[in-house]
Homo-oligomer: A and B are copies of this chain.
């Protein structure tokens, strides 16, 4: 069997997350400085836009968690009337960003995201 690249492995893990949770519309792994590492986005969702927003949210989330005594940042979520943007740290240097529909079951989504983040962190540190 042909070896696949690490990027392909990361994208496959993102796609498997999207398959287990059908209300996920888009996923991306973004470095803390706002550059895309891997993504699985539908047409019409700009990779640059997702990365820039993820990095801004991560930076502010970290500042808020620290200034208001919440410790190290685990997760950030933004709920709009049409759905969610959820970020979760992947190790120390990246973040997983998920766009999900409004009717998503958050408990299940968080569980699947936590598992995916563990796997993605392993892939990034191979």
* Interface residue from B45, B69, B73, B75 paired with A68 (Cβ < 8 Å): B45
* Contact status of A73 and B78, CB under 8 A, knowing A56-B60, A60-B56: yes
How many subunits of this chain does the assembly comprise? 2
A side interface size, CB within 8 A? 32
Report yes or no: A81 in contact with B72, Cβ–Cβ below 8 A.
Answer: yes
Report yes or no: B76 in contact with A77, Cβ–Cβ below 8 A.
Answer: yes
Contacts of A76 in B (CB 8 A): 76-79
Report yes or no: B70 in contact with A74, Cβ–Cβ below 8 A.
Answer: no
* Minimum CB–CB distance for A103 against chain B, Å: 13
Report yes or no: A77 in contact with B80, Cβ–Cβ below 8 A.
Answer: no
Report yes or no: A85 in contact with B68, Cβ–Cβ below 8 A.
Answer: yes
